[in-house]
Amino acid sequence: MIKVVPAPDMLIGRRFDIAVAKMLGVSRAKAAVFIETNQARIVGREHERDKSAVLQAGDVVEFELVDEQRPAEPIARNMPIVYEDEDIVVVDKPVGVAAHASVGWTGPTVLGSLLKRGVEITALGAPGRQGIVSRLDVGTSGLMLVCKTDLAYKEMRRQFSEHEVIKTYHALAQGNLKEDKATIEAPIGRAKVSDFRFCVTPGGKEAVTHWDVLERFGEATLAKINLETGRTHQIRVHFSSIGHPLVGDAMYGANPKLSAELGLERQWLHAMQLEFRHPRTHVRTVVTSQYPADLKHALDAMRARHTDGEDGADGM
């Protein structure tokens, strides 16, 4: 089976063997074998079979893995549908579910699970990503909207691209944020030290994050966050850049001891609310979520630590 995939932005400028390894989730040595046997190739440069070739913007990678035996994609049966009508469906995506299929990902996806559950999805959009107008990382839970009709796809894509949709997240940031509300404006680009990390950099894309404090615990702060832009890892990168990485976010500098004590195995970040104009009726529509069990447990544990600390201080 041949699969054609546009070169991911985060891998532009990387050696082809490194890119293939990351895209397929295999070792670099295995990736080199795929390249040498023409099972992985850059379209237009198939004859080169050069593992040291550099991926360029606009490149397309073609895979024909003759020894690949993949199981059928699992269904995310624990993914609630919190809103649905003839045009759109909004799911409460659990952690560990990708937005759509990608090379190297073998877990459940939002799109695949909806289709297997009998939900009709528009054919508009890139192959394998049809109906999707915004995404959440695998490690981030919360609300995600998918379009069922062509009308909805065109209109919701416009609303997201023009920043008309109000996306509200809750995040638990390490440390005590100095202000009760503030805005972070700092461009974000790919970090040179890692294929999958991003950072604040002058050459990056514009990124704007607004936040308001909801609750303070001294060693951490619960904040409500609204995004003007939708850069990859935006909230995680921006809070790390001001010295307050999200609790549980080891990639961006979270304290592993605190994460372990709270029972967290991922960043404390949840997409809580979507507010938009319905694509057909233009009525203002608001969809809300609740904290999933792991984040609620960690937050309750943080509140208990804070209360115990205050009691101890009063008794001194």
Catalytic residues: 137
Among 5, 128, 3, which Cα is nearest to 59's? Answer: 5
Among 175, 176, 142, which Cα is nearest to 266's? Answer: 142
